[in-house]
Every structure is written in C-alpha cells, then in structure tokens.
Amino acid sequence: MTDPLIRMENVTYTYPAGTGKPALAGVSLTVRPGEYIAIVGANGSGKSTLARHLNALLVPDHGDVWVNGWNTRDRAHIRDIRRTVGMVFQVPDNQIVATIVEDDVAFGPENLGVPDAELPARVAQALAAVGLEEHAHRASHLLSAGQKQRLAIAAALAMNPLCLVLDEATAMLDPAGKAELLRTVRRLHDAGTTIVAVTHSMSEAAEADRIVVLAEGHIAAEGTPAQVFADAEVLHQCGLEPPPVARLARLLAGRWPDFPTDILHPEAFADVVHRFLAAPPTAQGTHAAANRAENATAAPPSGEDAEEPWVSLGDVHYTYMRGTPLETHALRGVHMKAHAGETVAIIGPTGSGKSTLLQHLNGLLRPDSGRARVLGHDLTDPRADVRAVRKRVGLVFQQPELQLFERYAGDDVAFGPLAFGASIDRARDCVRRAMNAVGLPFEAYKDRLTLTLSGGERRRLALAGVLALEPQILALDEPTAGLDPRGREDLIALLRQWRTSDRTIVLTTHNMDDVALLADRVYIVADGKIAHVGATRDTFANADLLAEFGLGLPVATALAHALARRGYPIPTNVLTLEELAHAIVRLADERVRV
C-alpha cells in the first residue's frame, strides 16, 4: 500500500475559550493519496475542527498530525503543509480575498513566491479546471454563490495541492450550484486529487470511497458508504439519517427480508426493485390510473372558495434600484393567493424573485404596480397600516440566527412584542409560549447567552422571535437551508405542529422534500413570473416541468419516476418514502394475485 498522505494519531483538541469540552477526543484517521473521503456528523460533532487539523489551521493539544511526512506542529513546514492540502470553506463570500476573480486565484501562489512569470499560467489553469476562465476579470462579489465556491476551489488549486478539503462547501448552494460543484470535485478526483469532503448531506457522502462518522469528537463509524449506511441505528444516534434510498430499502425489508439495505443510488435501487418484482410487465400505460387512485387521498384542493383569501397578489411588478444602471426587474406580473389554513411553497431557481415575492406579504416591499391584499389590508395604498400587517404576518428571513442581537435569549424573543407596545407581563406570556413552542423551554433558556446556543437552537430561537407576535401568517425564506438532518427534521415537525386551520404558511425553499412534507400547493417562480401553480402532488407528478426550471423532485417521487420509466404502473405522485414503499408493496401484491 502507498504511504498515507495524511495521518492523524489520537488527536485531542479543546477550544481555548469554549465550554472546556473537547471538540476532538482521540481521533485517528489516515488519508491515502487519491482517496475520496467523506467526514459526516451533526453540527457540533467536531467535523470542521477535524478538517482544520488537516492543514495546520489548528494544531492538536495531544496527538499528532502528519501531512506528507511533516508534523503540523513543525512551524518550519507550515507552508509545505498548507500548499499540499487546500481548503474550501462553507460561506462563499467569506473566503474571497480580492475584488477581482483572477487576483483572488493568484493570492495563494503569490504568497508562496511563485515567480511572477509563472503566475498567469497558474491562474489560467486553475480557472479552467473549475470552468470560470471567462470570468477572470470580473468583480468577485458579482459571481453567483455556486461560482464563488468554484472560485474558492480554483484559488486552492492554483497552489497545486495534492489534497482538497471541502468544509461543508455545498451547504449554502442551491441544487444547481451544488450539482455543478460536485461535478467539479468528481472531475478533480478523477484527475488524481485526493478529496476530503466534510458534509452532513448523506447523498453527497455517498459519492465518497470511504465515510467517517463523527459524533461528539469521536469517530463513531467508518467504512464504505454501503457499510456505514447499513447501520441505521448508529447514524440515528449521531443525529444523522441514512440516505433516502437506504431508508426505503429498509422499509421494504419488511416485505422482502432479503432486500439489500446497502443501495446508494436511485438507478441501482430501481434495478433491485426490478429484480424483486421479477419480469417487467408486458402491458403498459397504467400509471395514469395509478395517479388517479393516489389523488383520492391527496390534500384538500384549495380552490376559489367563497371566503376571501388571506393573501392575494395580482399582476405585481417590482423593480430594484429603479432608474440606476443596476436596475433589476425582480417581479414582472405575479399572481398569487394563499388561503386560511393552507401551506404554500414558492420554488424556483436562484434569482427568480422568490424572496422579493415573500417580502411583499408583510409590506416590506410594496408593488410598483398591481394589486396586493393581505388579511384585508390593501398594501398598494400608501396609507395602509403596514405595522398592523407586520404584526399578523410573521416573516422569517434566511439564516435568521445571524440576526439575533440581544445578549439573552429571552430578551431577543421579546423584541417583537415590546416593539408593538406589549406590556412586560403580556410580552413575557408571548415569549413563554413562543419559546415553549419551538422546543426551547422558557425557564431553561430565557437567561442563556444567545451566542452560546447551537446553530439549530439559534434558528429556533429566531423563529420564536417571530412566533411571539402570534401571527396568522408565517412567511419563511429557506427555513431549512444549512441545517443538519436532525435540525431540519425538528424544524419541519415544529412547522407542521404550528399550522392549524386558521394559520397559514408561505415558504420558499430549494429542498423539494421540504415541499413534499409541508406544502398543499406549489408556485413555481421563474424570471419574475409565476410559471406554474398546482397541488403539490400534481406538480411533482410532472417531472419534465420541474426539470425545465432546473428543479429537482422529492426523493420518493424521483424513485417512483425511475420505476415508472421502466414500465411499472407505479403512481408518480407519491411524496414520501412510506407512500412509495406502500405503492411498491401493493404492486407486488397485485402481481402475486395475477
């Protein structure tokens, strides 16, 4: 076997000003040249801390790390180590040094003292490797998030590293950006670069040759993706969940005890189902009937009933920075309705106008033209009482945890009620209810320092800050983005619980499984217009429509489509893995009867 590229031995590390609990406790790990390793774990499991030990950004308290034979404690080789192991971090904006793309790529080699004459070639080569050569002279802050991450990769590549460490590099990207980044990484790996990817996305981890599961600073499991995903119990204990295909396999194991549980990819899954259902059917074209059957149990249609919708936008236009060179038409004639008790999802590519649309719901933005009525208030009227609307329409922004500003958790939640003039006693009641509702018990959490809460807790606290206003409509911009699997699961459960017949949710998201789990109806926004509106089930049954806008499908729906493509009469409008498993079992039963 070849010599390891990186060797970690029994590494323990505690942050000097942290809680005193070690972030890494006795971790040993070997990375061989050319490997593709995924390091997975919930937030706070120590995976980023581990990543930072791989190129001497952190040095262990105990134990050792060797990179290419150099000990990371040896400051004399720090440049050699960092040149060997390149890093890409999570937040696109926070790792770009220069204002111009090519300058940013040159920053690393310039630091290494690469001769001036060699620099242009290095920069060009690195940009070509990530497909950004045409952007060399652009302002770096004008790139899309996905392009910024590819720029970060190019910046690392320009130093000719042997290994690339990606520290949750895809967490902030939309599906298209994510896919492009993963393709780039795959290409680099094929060309010989060693990859260490830190992630909590199990479908990304499935790309790797080897997965290392971290929990509370320990390695909880290690092995090939198939081995690791087969042990659902361990994953669950670590705050993770197996990739959907593996979970489905487990659901089917009840019916077929020898159904393999180590499948990782949808196509492989379709193959196995195919084998278990024996020969493909001869008669085709039955899945329309199947769809109808599933429709009977679909969510209640929220048609044009007699009651006035709570939200009603008609032909809304909105332009940012009108009259300047940077003018952008964000909305160009949007029609949208949301009724009492409904959950509506707004999906669409990045930059399509989703967030702009959401900000019209509570009068943060007012239409340039068109109609906007929310809870009986006409928002096109300049004299409309916007604050009254804002009190009843709670708007939660992307990554709301970054917007907490009070020192103590309870005070932050109280901001809204107090700003709307509630007495301290009344505010305390609201805060108590809101904090309890989001699973941060008032008595236990009100005096906690907001900065010491975990990422998931902080997001729920921010949500409590909006719920404390006791709104009728909750508008959420990308509520699950960047959360780890357990954080996402908790948040979705919380939203499902909050929703009642007299409360409405409008959310934007890139995650189609969020839509499947939450929404009754779906609006697809593209280029500032509503491109499609329909019941969630019907919308996802039409895979071509979603593909047209670069949108994916919920995992269960995607698998159903894969089976349907092979001619099975499987309903393509299933939304959850349970529904899909049920449909497959029913199909098998029917075959037995025939």
Partner 1 sequence: MSASEFELLRTVTLGQYLPTASPIHRADPRVKLAAGMLLVLAVTATSSLAGLMLALTLVVAGFAIARIPVGYALSGIKPMLPFLALLGIFQAIAIPQNDANTTVYWRWAFITLTTRDAVAVALLFAKFSALVWGLSLLSFTTTTTELTHGTEHLLRPLQRIGLPAHEFALTLNVALRFIPLLAQETERLMKAQASRGADFGAGRGWNFIRRFRKLIPLLVPLILATLQRAEDLILAMEARCYTGGKGRTHLVHFQARAADYALLALVVVVLAAAVAAGVGSADTLVWRAISTIWR
Partner 2 sequence: MSTETVVQSTPARKIVIAGVMGALAVFLGWTHLGFIPWVAGAALTIMHVPVIIGAVLEGPVVGTAIGLIFGLFSLLQAVLAPTGPVDVWFQNPVISVLPRLFIGVVAWLGYKALKNVNEPLALVVAGILGTLTNTVLVLSAIGLFGHLPWGALPPIAIANGLPEAVLAAILTVAVVVAWKRIETGTRKSKM
Could you give the CA distance from residue 489 to residue 508 in angstroms, rounded to a whole number? 17
Closest CB to partner 2 among residues 130, 481? 481
Q: Helices then strands (H, E): number in the chain?
A: 24, 20
Could you give the CA distance from residue 512 to residue 517 in angstroms, rounded to a whole number? 9
Could you say whether residue 170 binds partner 1 (CB under 8 A)? Answer: no
β partners of residue 237: none
Could you say whether residue 359 binds partner 1 (CB under 8 A)? Answer: yes
In angstroms, the Cα distances linking 514 to 232, 344, 491, 519, 560 are 22, 11, 10, 8, 18
List 2, 19, 297, 324, residue binding partner 1 (CB under 8 A): 324
β partners of residue 190: none
Q: For the chain, how many residues are written?
A: 594
Could you say whether residue 115 binds partner 1 (CB under 8 A)? Answer: yes
Closest CB to partner 2 among residues 21, 183? 21
CA 420, 425, 430, 436 torsion-angle sign: positive
Near partner 1 by CB under 8 A, which window of 288-296, 390-398, 536-544, 572-580? 390-398
- Structure token pair of residue 25: 């406790």
Binder of residue 447, out of partner 1, partner 2, none (CB less than 5 to 8 A by kind): partner 2
Closest CB to partner 2 among residues 42, 431? 431
Closest CB to partner 1 among residues 88, 551? 88
Helix axes 119-129, 145-157, angle to 10 degrees: 130
Binder of residue 449, out of partner 2, partner 1, none (CB less than 5 to 8 A by kind): partner 2
Closest CB to partner 1 among residues 51, 575? 51
Binder of residue 408, out of partner 1, partner 2, none (CB less than 5 to 8 A by kind): partner 2
Could you say whether residue 5 binds partner 1 (CB under 8 A)? Answer: no
Closest CB to partner 1 among residues 253, 386? 386
Through-space distance between the first and last CA atoms of the chain, rounded to whole angstroms: 55
Secondary structure class of 529 (helix, strand, coil): strand
Closest by CA position to 553, among listed 526, 587, 527, 522: 522
Binding site for partner 2 (CB under 8 A): 15-18, 48, 58, 406-411, 413-414, 424, 427-428, 431, 442, 446-447, 449, 451-452
Near partner 1 by CB under 8 A, which window of 210-218, 412-420, 439-447, 556-564? 412-420
Shortest spacing between CB 523 and partner 1, in angstroms:
21
Could you say whether residue 13 binds partner 1 (CB under 8 A)? Answer: no
Phi-psi map region of 552: left, alpha, beta (phi>0 left; psi -120 to 50 alpha):
beta
Binder of residue 306, out of partner 2, partner 1, none (CB less than 5 to 8 A by kind): none
Near partner 1 by CB under 8 A, which window of 25-33, 254-262, 394-402, 532-540? 394-402
Binder of residue 79, out of partner 1, partner 2, none (CB less than 5 to 8 A by kind): partner 1
Instruction: Decide if 379 contacts 360 (C-beta within 8 A).
Output: yes
Binder of residue 402, out of partner 2, partner 1, none (CB less than 5 to 8 A by kind): partner 1
Tokens 């969940």, located at residue: 241
- Structure token pair of residue 73: 């404690």
Secondary structure class of 508 (helix, strand, coil): strand
Binder of residue 51, out of partner 1, partner 2, none (CB less than 5 to 8 A by kind): none
Residues 34-53 that bind partner 1 (CB under 8 A): 52
Instruction: Decide if 262 contacts 550 (C-beta within 8 A).
Output: no
